[in-house]
Structures are given as C-alpha cells and as structure tokens.
Amino acid sequence: MPEANPFESLQEQIGDAGEFLDVGDDVLERLKHPERVLETTLSVEMDDGTIETFKAFRSQFNGDRGPYKGGIRYHPGVTRDEVKALSGWMVYKTSVVDIPYGGGKGGIVIDPSEYSEGELERITRAFAAELRPFIGEDKDVPAPDVNTGQREMNWIKDTYETLENTTAPGVITGKALENGGSEGRVEATGRSTMFAAREIFDYLDRDLEGATVAVQGYGNAGSVAAKLIDDQGADVVAVSDSSGAIHNPDGFDTRAVKDFKNETGSVTGYDEATEEFSNGDLLTMDVDLLVPAALENAVDEDLARDVEADVVVEAANGPLTPDADDVLTERGVTVVPDILANAGGVTVSYFEWVQNRQRFQWTEERVNEELEAVITDAFDAMTDAHEDAGTPNLRTAAYVVAVQRVVDAYDGSGSWP
C-alpha cells in the first residue's frame, strides 16, 4: 500500500467536517490550500570548507484568525507536501483551542545528527535570514518541532533581531528561559496529551489510574506524556523510539527510561525491559491507551485492523491516516485527535508570546493552570460538537469546531476586491 500523502489527509479531514457544517464548497475549498509556500535552497559552508545545499520550506496556510504559527522541523523526510499538511493542521489546532493565531510550518531536509553544532548554527541562521522578510511578531511566529528546540529558536531570534536592528522576542517561541522563553513550554505538548487522556477516560467513565499505556516515540512529546500519565497512576508498560520498543508488563519508571535514553541515545537496551519488539508490535498491543508520539502515518489502514488499544490519544501530528481513522471508528476505538491532544505546545507558545509582548514573566504554576483551562474547554467544545452534530468520531467533531471559527473570522472580515 503506498504511504498516505499527509496533505491529502488534511484535505480529507476538512472535507469530512464540511459535511456537518453549513459552509459552501467554495469557502471550504479555500480552507484546503496554503496561502503561500516559501521554498528555498540554503547554501552553507561546512567545517571542512566545502559548501553544502539544503532544501527548506515555510508554508503559511491561513491567517484569518491571527499571525501564522507553527514549528520548524529538521528531518531527512521533510517534503513540501508534508510541510503544507503540518501548516494546515496548525490552523485547525490554534482554532480548536481558540488562541488568536493562524497556522504555518517550516522544515529543512536534513538529518541533524550528521552535522556539528557550528554547522547546525550556520544552517539555522541561513534559514532565519531567508525567513526574515516573512516572519515577525505580528506576521508569522515559528517554534520548535521534530529535532529542533531552544538552541535553534535562540539562534533564529538572534539572527532576526540582529538583521532587523531591534528586540522582538515574540518573533519566535520555544526559546530558552534566559532568552525570553516561558516556564512550562518544554513540557507543554506532553502535558496537554496527559490532560486529553485524563479527560477522555473521564468522558468514557473509565479509570486512567491503573490503565495500561503504550507510548510510541520517546522524544519531547512522548517522554513527557509518558511521565505525566504515569503520575496519574497509569502503568506505562511499553515505550519505543526509532531503535525499537521495550516492554515490561509491570510498568516502567518513565523518568529512568528517559535518563537511559539521554545517556545511550535510545530506549532499547534498557535493563528493566522484559522484552524488546518492533514499533509495529507496540502499536498493536492490547493496552487501554495508546499514545502515538512520533511522526505521521504511524498507523495505516492495515495496521489499524490490528490495533487493540481501546483509546488512542495523538501526541504526534497526523499519526493515523484517514483510512486508519475509518477503521478505528468502525471498530469502536476512541481517538482524541492531534489538533487537540498535542495543542499544549502551541498554547504555551501563545503564553510565551503574550509574556514577551508584555515584558512580564508568568510563574510555571500560572502557565500550567491556564493551559489546563484551555485544553479542558477545547475538549468540552469538541465533545459537545460530537454529540450535537452527531459526528462519527472526535476528530471530525474537533474539525467542525475549528473550521467554523476560521470561517466566522473570514466572513466577518468582509471581502477584498
């Protein structure tokens, strides 16, 4: 089976929501395409003096509700269509949690593990210089994504501010605390995943305490989600990364697994594991809760038939293909969609941007409390839409809420000749 194109998946998800909305096909069509995509080739000097070129993208999908917002990923698998899809998911993510942003996304086609820190800094600054005319506190605000973090955000902020001869910390979020970052930002994606898990178990009248959990991916999203879900009293019995999966039916010490991965580079080889298997085996384990926290298309139609979890909470962006979604809906598996479950990252990015603009720092307690309110309100709006509109699943319900808000903003703006 050919791999699903994430951009086509996004368009299908918007179309599915359209069936439950009183929105014309012309308006809906507009919401299925990015407003613009920057494609650029970065030429950067390597440590050995040679020049290497890298393809990079920034997609600005929709700005009806505010500045474009979304991360920048460094990955060899980055494509134009992937960035377009990810930027569209950001539009509906910022909308479903009702923060005043549109959606954007960027990426460089690169395996960052193959480059020195100095090379990565030059590559990042080259991209920031290309992005400079298109970004800004009120235009487009990038952030971290797969394989990028505080270090890269600091470099982008510094490049932008130097070239613009100003201070504008709100041009980018996910910075280190010392460079204008926010308390709670690093853990925010995993924290909203935990809130989403807690809310859905409550909605389904099930206990998260004592529930068995499998987490695919042990990066920033997966490892924090695992830790915080573990703190809710659940048993994280399996975790994985690109090296493979580890299992222990009694549950892992999720913090110790993270320490082990930090030391060795992977979760496999951890001595408390009773067995090791593949990511595919982890995704089809008989657990109460499955948290895909890696990349798109982790579960396709075929694999979906073998998924044995009762509940899936998506920490990654786009981990289920639309065909997989259909199979899970048919099989009665409840899925809390990415645009809500992992929206903690962009929500705390919003708090960071607000703090930057106010030149006023919030406490971690305030950040986490406000995040909880945003995610639980969005969860309630999604389940209300599910019940009121009778959507087949929660993803379509989340899109019904999100698309309607974008349409309302567009309608309210009037037309431009």
Binding to ligand GLU, residues 348-367 (CB under 6 A): 349
325 binds ligand GLU (CB under 6 A): no
Piece in contact with ligand GLU (CB under 6 A), picked from 232-240, 249-257, 343-351, 355-363: 343-351
**Listed residue (249, 250, 261, 295) closest to 6, CA to CA:** 295
- Side-chain half-sphere CA neighbours of 355 within 13 A: 25
Strand ranges across the sheet with 140-144: 36-45, 51-62, 103-109, 68-75, 140-144
- Write the binding mask 117 to 146 for ligand GLU: x where contact by CB under 6 A, - elsewhere: --------------------------x-x-
How many angstroms separate the most distant Cα atoms in the chain? 66
Q: What residues between 35 and 94 interact with ligand GLU by CB under 6 A?
A: 69-71, 93
C-alpha angle 250-256-258 in degrees, rounded to nearest 5: 110
State how far the alpha carbon of 236 is from the alpha carbons of 141, 180, 251, in Å: 35, 34, 5
Residue nearer to ligand GLU on the CB measure, 70 or 170: 70
392 φ/ψ angles, rounded to the nearest 5 degrees = -65, -25
Contact string (CB under 6 A) for ligand GLU, positions 174-193, x = contact: x-------------------
Question: Per CB under 6 A, which of residues 368..397 are in contact with ligand GLU?
Answer: none
Which two tokens mark 192? Answer: 């909203």
DSSP state of 67: S
Residue 259 to residue 205: CA distance in whole angstroms: 34
User: By rule CB under 6 A, what count of residues binds ligand GLU?
Assistant: 13
Q: For strand 103-109 and strand 51-62, is the pairing parallel, antiparallel, or unpaired?
A: antiparallel
Residues designated catalytic: 105
Q: How far apart are CA 78 and CA 109, in angstroms?
A: 5
230 touching ligand GLU, by CB under 6 A: no
- How many residues would you count in the chain? 417
Stretch that binds ligand GLU, among 12-20, 117-125, 285-293, 344-352 (CB under 6 A): 344-352
Residue 10 backbone dihedrals phi, psi, to 5 degrees: -60, -45
By CB under 6 A, name the one of 87, 317, 356, 368 that touches ligand GLU: 317
Query: Given the complex with ligand GLU, which of 18 and 70 has the nearer CB atom?
Result: 70
Shorter beta-carbon distance to ligand GLU: residue 37 or 143? 143
Report the residue number, 188 or 211, with the smaller CB distance to ligand GLU. Answer: 188
Site for ligand GLU in 273-302 (CB under 6 A): none
Kindly list the residues in this chain that would bind ligand GLU in the complex (CB under 6 A): 69-71, 93, 143, 145, 173-174, 317, 342, 345-346, 349
